[in-house]
Amino acid sequence: MLELQGIRAGYGGVEIIRDVTLSVNEGRVVSLLGANGAGKSTLLSVVSGLMRPWAGAVRFMGTNITGWRPDQVAEEGLIQVPQGRRLFTKLSVMDNLLLGNTPRRARPMRKQLLQKVFSMFPILDQRREQLAGTLSGGQQQMVAIGRALMGAPRLLVLDEPSIGLAPSIAMEVLGHLRDLNRDGMTVLLVEQNVAQALSISDRGYILENGVIALSDEAKALRHDPRVLKAYLGV
Protein backbone atom coordinates (compact mmCIF):
# COMPACT_ATOMS: atom_id res chain seq x y z
CA MET A 1 0.00 0.00 0.00
CA LEU A 2 2.81 2.37 0.95
CA GLU A 3 6.20 2.21 -0.74
CA LEU A 4 9.27 4.26 0.03
CA GLN A 5 12.13 3.99 -2.43
CA GLY A 6 15.58 5.43 -1.96
CA ILE A 7 14.51 8.28 0.30
CA ARG A 8 17.20 10.81 1.09
CA ALA A 9 16.28 13.74 3.32
CA GLY A 10 17.50 16.18 5.91
CA TYR A 11 17.28 19.67 7.37
CA GLY A 12 19.34 22.62 6.27
CA GLY A 13 22.56 21.04 5.14
CA VAL A 14 22.36 18.08 7.49
CA GLU A 15 21.47 14.71 6.03
CA ILE A 16 19.36 12.59 8.33
CA ILE A 17 17.91 9.93 6.07
CA ARG A 18 20.56 8.50 3.80
CA ASP A 19 18.77 5.81 1.78
CA VAL A 20 15.56 4.27 2.99
CA THR A 21 13.47 1.76 1.17
CA LEU A 22 10.54 0.09 2.86
CA SER A 23 6.99 -0.97 2.19
CA VAL A 24 3.79 -1.46 4.10
CA ASN A 25 1.38 -4.03 2.76
CA GLU A 26 -2.35 -3.61 3.02
CA GLY A 27 -3.89 -4.87 6.21
CA ARG A 28 -0.57 -5.20 8.01
CA VAL A 29 0.88 -3.54 11.06
CA VAL A 30 4.43 -2.42 10.35
CA SER A 31 6.78 -1.00 12.97
CA LEU A 32 9.57 1.43 12.27
CA LEU A 33 12.03 1.23 15.12
CA GLY A 34 15.31 2.79 16.05
CA ALA A 35 17.14 4.79 18.63
CA ASN A 36 16.34 8.39 19.54
CA GLY A 37 17.42 10.73 16.79
CA ALA A 38 17.73 7.96 14.20
CA GLY A 39 15.42 9.90 11.93
CA LYS A 40 12.14 8.09 12.33
CA SER A 41 10.12 11.27 12.73
CA THR A 42 11.96 12.81 9.79
CA LEU A 43 10.94 9.87 7.66
CA LEU A 44 7.34 10.23 8.73
CA SER A 45 7.49 13.92 7.87
CA VAL A 46 8.52 12.96 4.38
CA VAL A 47 5.74 10.39 4.11
CA SER A 48 3.08 12.84 5.22
CA GLY A 49 4.29 15.71 3.07
CA LEU A 50 5.58 17.98 5.83
CA MET A 51 9.00 17.70 4.25
CA ARG A 52 10.26 17.23 0.73
CA PRO A 53 12.87 14.51 0.30
CA TRP A 54 16.10 15.32 -1.50
CA ALA A 55 15.83 12.10 -3.44
CA GLY A 56 13.58 9.07 -3.70
CA ALA A 57 9.88 8.47 -4.07
CA VAL A 58 6.88 7.85 -1.88
CA ARG A 59 4.10 5.82 -3.45
CA PHE A 60 0.74 5.31 -1.85
CA MET A 61 -1.71 2.87 -3.41
CA GLY A 62 0.15 3.17 -6.66
CA THR A 63 0.14 6.96 -6.78
CA ASN A 64 3.38 8.88 -6.49
CA ILE A 65 2.73 11.31 -3.65
CA THR A 66 6.28 12.59 -3.26
CA GLY A 67 6.25 16.29 -2.54
CA TRP A 68 2.49 16.52 -2.07
CA ARG A 69 1.11 18.91 0.54
CA PRO A 70 0.15 17.31 3.86
CA ASP A 71 -3.54 18.01 3.33
CA GLN A 72 -3.37 16.38 -0.08
CA VAL A 73 -1.73 13.32 1.44
CA ALA A 74 -4.46 13.19 4.08
CA GLU A 75 -7.05 13.46 1.33
CA GLU A 76 -5.65 10.29 -0.21
CA GLY A 77 -6.22 8.46 3.05
CA LEU A 78 -2.72 8.48 4.51
CA ILE A 79 -3.25 10.06 7.91
CA GLN A 80 -0.67 10.62 10.62
CA VAL A 81 -1.05 10.94 14.37
CA PRO A 82 1.94 13.19 15.07
CA GLN A 83 4.34 12.83 17.94
CA GLY A 84 3.34 14.54 21.15
CA ARG A 85 -0.36 14.58 20.43
CA ARG A 86 -0.35 18.12 18.94
CA LEU A 87 -3.96 18.78 19.76
CA PHE A 88 -5.65 22.13 19.34
CA THR A 89 -5.70 22.88 23.03
CA LYS A 90 -8.01 25.88 22.85
CA LEU A 91 -10.69 23.91 21.05
CA SER A 92 -13.02 21.33 22.51
CA VAL A 93 -12.64 17.59 22.11
CA MET A 94 -15.49 17.65 19.63
CA ASP A 95 -13.93 20.45 17.61
CA ASN A 96 -10.64 18.59 17.48
CA LEU A 97 -12.37 15.49 16.20
CA LEU A 98 -14.39 17.41 13.64
CA LEU A 99 -11.24 19.10 12.36
CA GLY A 100 -9.94 15.62 11.64
CA ASN A 101 -12.93 15.23 9.34
CA THR A 102 -11.61 17.93 6.98
CA PRO A 103 -10.66 15.68 4.02
CA ARG A 104 -13.47 15.85 1.51
CA ARG A 105 -13.44 12.09 1.10
CA ALA A 106 -14.27 11.59 4.76
CA ARG A 107 -16.95 14.25 5.15
CA PRO A 108 -19.98 12.20 4.01
CA MET A 109 -19.09 9.59 6.61
CA ARG A 110 -18.91 12.09 9.45
CA LYS A 111 -21.69 10.60 11.59
CA GLN A 112 -20.48 7.03 11.28
CA LEU A 113 -16.88 7.96 11.92
CA LEU A 114 -17.85 9.92 15.00
CA GLN A 115 -19.83 6.98 16.29
CA LYS A 116 -16.89 4.64 15.75
CA VAL A 117 -14.54 6.96 17.60
CA PHE A 118 -16.92 7.34 20.53
CA SER A 119 -17.51 3.62 20.78
CA MET A 120 -13.78 3.05 20.78
CA PHE A 121 -13.12 5.81 23.29
CA PRO A 122 -16.31 6.28 25.30
CA ILE A 123 -14.67 8.73 27.64
CA LEU A 124 -14.36 11.19 24.78
CA ASP A 125 -18.10 11.09 24.31
CA GLN A 126 -18.52 12.08 27.94
CA ARG A 127 -16.07 14.98 27.59
CA ARG A 128 -17.15 16.29 24.20
CA GLU A 129 -17.20 19.94 25.11
CA GLN A 130 -14.15 19.92 27.33
CA LEU A 131 -11.16 21.89 26.17
CA ALA A 132 -8.63 19.49 24.74
CA GLY A 133 -5.81 21.13 26.64
CA THR A 134 -7.32 20.12 29.97
CA LEU A 135 -7.33 16.37 29.36
CA SER A 136 -4.86 13.87 30.76
CA GLY A 137 -2.04 12.51 28.61
CA GLY A 138 -3.78 9.27 27.86
CA GLN A 139 -7.05 10.99 27.00
CA GLN A 140 -5.23 13.40 24.74
CA GLN A 141 -3.70 10.52 22.89
CA MET A 142 -7.18 9.13 22.37
CA VAL A 143 -8.30 12.44 20.94
CA ALA A 144 -5.28 12.48 18.67
CA ILE A 145 -6.03 9.02 17.36
CA GLY A 146 -9.71 9.84 17.13
CA ARG A 147 -8.92 12.97 15.14
CA ALA A 148 -6.92 10.91 12.69
CA LEU A 149 -9.67 8.31 12.42
CA MET A 150 -12.17 11.03 11.55
CA GLY A 151 -10.30 11.43 8.27
CA ALA A 152 -11.30 7.88 7.24
CA PRO A 153 -7.73 6.72 6.85
CA ARG A 154 -6.74 3.86 4.62
CA LEU A 155 -3.31 3.86 6.24
CA LEU A 156 -2.85 5.12 9.78
CA VAL A 157 0.60 6.37 10.70
CA LEU A 158 1.48 6.92 14.35
CA ASP A 159 4.61 8.65 15.63
CA GLU A 160 5.44 7.31 19.08
CA PRO A 161 1.88 7.09 20.42
CA SER A 162 3.00 5.75 23.78
CA ILE A 163 5.49 8.49 24.58
CA GLY A 164 4.88 10.15 27.92
CA LEU A 165 2.15 7.72 28.83
CA ALA A 166 2.00 5.42 31.81
CA PRO A 167 2.79 1.84 30.74
CA SER A 168 -0.74 0.63 31.36
CA ILE A 169 -2.21 3.40 29.24
CA ALA A 170 0.38 2.75 26.54
CA MET A 171 -0.69 -0.88 26.46
CA GLU A 172 -4.28 0.23 26.16
CA VAL A 173 -3.43 2.42 23.20
CA LEU A 174 -1.57 -0.35 21.47
CA GLY A 175 -4.49 -2.63 22.15
CA HIS A 176 -6.75 -0.20 20.33
CA LEU A 177 -4.36 -0.22 17.39
CA ARG A 178 -4.48 -3.98 17.27
CA ASP A 179 -8.27 -3.83 17.28
CA LEU A 180 -8.26 -1.34 14.46
CA ASN A 181 -5.98 -3.59 12.48
CA ARG A 182 -8.26 -6.55 13.10
CA ASP A 183 -11.02 -4.51 11.49
CA GLY A 184 -8.84 -4.00 8.45
CA MET A 185 -6.84 -0.84 9.11
CA THR A 186 -3.28 -0.77 7.80
CA VAL A 187 -0.94 0.69 10.38
CA LEU A 188 2.58 2.13 10.27
CA LEU A 189 3.86 2.55 13.77
CA VAL A 190 6.96 4.37 14.89
CA GLU A 191 7.92 3.47 18.41
CA GLN A 192 10.78 3.65 20.82
CA ASN A 193 9.33 0.87 22.94
CA VAL A 194 10.54 -1.98 20.76
CA ALA A 195 9.02 -4.85 22.69
CA GLN A 196 5.54 -3.42 22.78
CA ALA A 197 5.64 -2.37 19.14
CA LEU A 198 6.81 -5.74 17.93
CA SER A 199 4.13 -7.47 20.00
CA ILE A 200 1.38 -6.09 17.80
CA SER A 201 3.25 -5.91 14.50
CA ASP A 202 3.50 -8.17 11.51
CA ARG A 203 6.70 -6.67 10.23
CA GLY A 204 9.47 -4.48 11.56
CA TYR A 205 12.13 -2.16 10.17
CA ILE A 206 15.07 -0.96 12.18
CA LEU A 207 16.37 2.47 11.18
CA GLU A 208 19.99 3.10 12.01
CA ASN A 209 22.36 5.81 10.72
CA GLY A 210 19.89 6.88 8.10
CA VAL A 211 19.36 3.48 6.50
CA ILE A 212 17.31 0.39 7.18
CA ALA A 213 19.66 -1.86 9.10
CA LEU A 214 17.27 -4.72 9.68
CA SER A 215 14.03 -5.74 8.10
CA ASP A 216 12.12 -8.85 8.93
CA GLU A 217 8.91 -10.34 10.21
CA ALA A 218 8.15 -9.13 13.72
CA LYS A 219 8.24 -12.67 15.06
CA ALA A 220 11.81 -13.08 13.85
CA LEU A 221 12.95 -9.69 15.08
CA ARG A 222 11.67 -10.45 18.55
CA HIS A 223 14.18 -13.23 18.80
CA ASP A 224 16.96 -11.66 16.77
CA PRO A 225 20.09 -11.42 18.96
CA ARG A 226 21.08 -8.08 17.43
CA VAL A 227 17.74 -6.56 18.30
CA LEU A 228 17.78 -8.11 21.72
CA LYS A 229 21.17 -6.64 22.48
CA ALA A 230 20.77 -3.19 20.99
CA TYR A 231 17.23 -2.36 21.93
CA LEU A 232 16.04 -4.70 24.56
CA GLY A 233 19.12 -4.50 26.70
CA VAL A 234 19.54 -8.24 26.85
Partner 1 sequence: MDTLLQIISQGLVLGGVYALMALALAIVYSVTHQLNFAHGDLMVVGMYLAFWGMHALGVDPYVAIVVIAPLMFIAGFLLFRIVFAPMLSAPHLVVIQVTLALSFIVQSALLLIFTSNFQTVHTVLSGKILRFGPVMLAAAPVLAFVASIVLALAAYYVIRHTEFGKRVLAVAEDRQAAALAGVNVVLVQASVFAAAVAVMGIAGPLVAPMMVLQPSAGLHLTLISFIVFILGGANNYLGTLVAGLIIGLSESLSSLYMRPPELAPAVPYLIFIVFLLVRPKGVLERAS
Give me the residues that bind partner 1 (CB under 8 A), please.
48-50, 69-71, 74-75, 79-80, 82, 86-91, 95, 98-100, 102-103, 106, 147-148, 151
In which order are the strands placed within the sheet that holds 2-11? 63-64, 55-60, 2-11, 14-24, 211-217, 203-208, 29-33, 186-191, 155-159, 78-81
Q: How many CA atoms lie within 13 A of 71 on its CB side?
A: 6
Least CB distance to partner 1 at residue 196 (A)? 23
Q: Which is nearer to partner 1, 75 or 125 (CB)?
A: 75
CB of 218 to partner 1, least distance (A): 26
Output the smallest distance, CB 178 to partner 1, in A: 23
Supply the minimum distance, in Å, between the C-beta of residue 226 and partner 1. 33
d(C-alpha 69, C-alpha 82), whole Å: 16
Q: Which is closer to partner 1, CB of 100 or CB of 161?
A: 100
**What is the end-to-end Cα distance of the chain in Å, rounded?**
34
> How many helices (H) and strands (E) are present in the chain, helices listed first?
10, 10
The answer to whether 201 and 217 have CB atoms below 8 angstroms apart is no
Whether the Cβ atoms of residue 62 and residue 120 lie closer than 8 Å to each other: no
CB nearer to partner 1: pick between 159 and 191: 159
Shortest distance, CB of residue 114 to partner 1, whole angstroms?
Answer: 15
79 or 142, CB closer to partner 1?
79
Between 163 and 213, name the residue whose CB sits nearer to partner 1: 163
Q: Report how far residue 191's alpha carbon sits from residue 111's, in angstroms, rounded to the nearest whole number.
A: 31
